[in-house]
Amino acid sequence: MTSFALAATGIVALLGGCAGVGEPLSAGHTSAAAAPVRLWPDRKPAPLEEPGAGENLPAAVPGVPRVPSGDIRKAPLLTVVKGQVAAGSSLGGGPQFDSATTRKIDACAEERTRCPVLKPQYQDLTGDGKAELIVGIGAADESLALWVFMLRHGVVNRILDVGVDPLSVEIANGDLIVREPTSKREYATRTVFAWDPRTKTMALRSMEFDQADSPTSAPKRTP
């Protein structure tokens, strides 16, 4: 009987040891989640902007023929560019050019080697399955006019007009991402423009700092 009892005790001990393998262990006490605390709740909040105030609203580019096919690649590039340049601030546009750059744009058809208009890019930024026209125009100070155009019922509309000093310009998941240098060489800004169906434009969605390992390497996102 004694030997049987000892054997049974050993079996129980082994089974108890096996049951403990792989079981989760407590990480200790964790603090309870706390709701945000609003500072100065009695202070009157700033008024909301009126719809459209300060926004980069869409605008038809004058002087550009309609594109019945619905393919913006059929729109004449230089006609679109010159129409936007001529309209300028009347479209609520951003960057304007010095006279030397404007003359180069006017002469692009004859002097392609000196033309500041970069090769046009076509990407679907609105998610409708159709490409938009992305135009970059370099200025003498190395800045870049960045324009995006889309077709609305066959009419070329400008949906983005910004001036940037880019380290890079990228497209990711329909977002237009611009990285620009800062006063500190180890950091760059990362600005994201995304399609806003409410305003019908490529609106500023976020702006943050990236960490750059070196002037030639791609910046890394900081937490």
Q: What is the pLDDT of residues 128-151, one digit of tens each?
A: 999 999 999 998 888 999 999 999
Asked, for residue 176, whether it belongs to a domain, the answer is yes
CB 158 within 8 A of CB 148: yes
pLDDT at 53: 47
Q: Give how many domains the chain has, as a whole number.
A: 1
Q: Report the residue count for the chain.
A: 223
pLDDT at 132: 98
In angstroms, the Cα distances linking 24 to 18, 19, 28, 32 are: 14, 11, 12, 20
Asked, for residue 34, whether it belongs to a domain, the answer is no
Asked, for residue 27, whether it belongs to a domain, the answer is no
pLDDT at 216: 47
Asked, for residue 23, whether it belongs to a domain, the answer is no
| pLDDT over 90, % of the chain | 52
Alpha-carbon radius of gyration of the chain: 29
Asked, for residue 74, whether it belongs to a domain, the answer is yes
Domain, as residue range, for 141: 59-216
Asked, for residue 205, whether it belongs to a domain, the answer is yes
In the predicted model, is pLDDT for residue 66 greater than 80?
yes
Asked, for residue 64, whether it belongs to a domain, the answer is yes
CB atoms within 10 A of CB 212: 20
Asked, for residue 76, whether it belongs to a domain, the answer is yes
Confidence of residue 57 (pLDDT cuts 50, 70, 90): confident
More confident of the two residues 212 and 209? 209
Instruction: Give the DSSP letter of residue 102.
Output: H
pLDDT at 127: 95
* Mean pLDDT along residues 15-44: 71
